[in-house]
């Protein structure tokens, strides 16, 4: 019984699974309030600030990874509501967020 529990625990803590959980946690804690669970920005702030729907194929195609990374790291030059996260997140976390935003692309 304990052996099985230990096995399940070690599977949960495998590095790749952990990284995926980690980025979702960061998104929920720091991004979701404005951008929504799915990046569609169907939130109060999203409506007020007309935040773009990141799931749109056109948006995904227009933005390079570098542009997305820069918006997260340095904030938006057009809207101060989008703050610079480089002081609050590590470079690895920001890279993971870029990857996570890519998974939001509408199918």
Instruction: Please give the radius of gyration of the chain, using alpha carbons only, rounded to the nearest integer.
Output: 16
CB of residue 21 to ligand HEC, shortest distance in Å: 16
Which one of 5-13, 15-23, 45-53 is the stretch in contact with ligand HEC (CB under 6 A)?
45-53
Task: Please answer whether residues 96 and 19 qualify as being in contact, where contact means their C-beta atoms are separated by less than 8 angstroms.
Answer: yes
Closest CA to 68 of 46, 106, 35: 35
Token pair, residue 38, equals 């799915």
Of positions 23, 68, 96, 104, contacts ligand HEC by CB under 6 A: 68
Give the total of residues touching ligand HEC (CB under 6 A).
Answer: 19
Q: Is 82 in the site for ligand HEC (CB under 6 A)?
A: yes
Token pair, residue 72, equals 């997260």
Nearer to ligand HEC, 13 or 25 (CB): 25
CB of residue 11 to ligand HEC, shortest distance in Å: 28
Return the ∠ at Cα 86 (arms to 53 and 41), rounded to 5°.
15
Give the residue carrying structure tokens 């625990």.
Answer: 9
Residues at the interface with ligand HEC (CB under 6 A): 30-31, 33-35, 45, 49, 51-52, 68, 71-72, 76, 78-79, 81-82, 85, 97
């Amino acid at each position: 019984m304990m052996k099985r529990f230990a096995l399940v625990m070690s599977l949960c803590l495998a590095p790749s699974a952990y990284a995926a959980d980690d980025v979702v946690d960061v998104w929920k804690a720091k991004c979701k309030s404005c951008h929504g669970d799915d990046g569609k920005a169907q939130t109060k702030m999203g409506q007020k600030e007309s935040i773009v729907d990141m799931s749109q194929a056109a948006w995904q195609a227009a933005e390079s990874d570098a542009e997305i990374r820069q918006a997260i790291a340095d904030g938006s030059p057009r809207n101060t509501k989008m703050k610079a996260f480089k002081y609050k997140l590590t470079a690895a976390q920001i890279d993971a967020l870029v990857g996570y935003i890519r998974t939001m692309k509408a199918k």
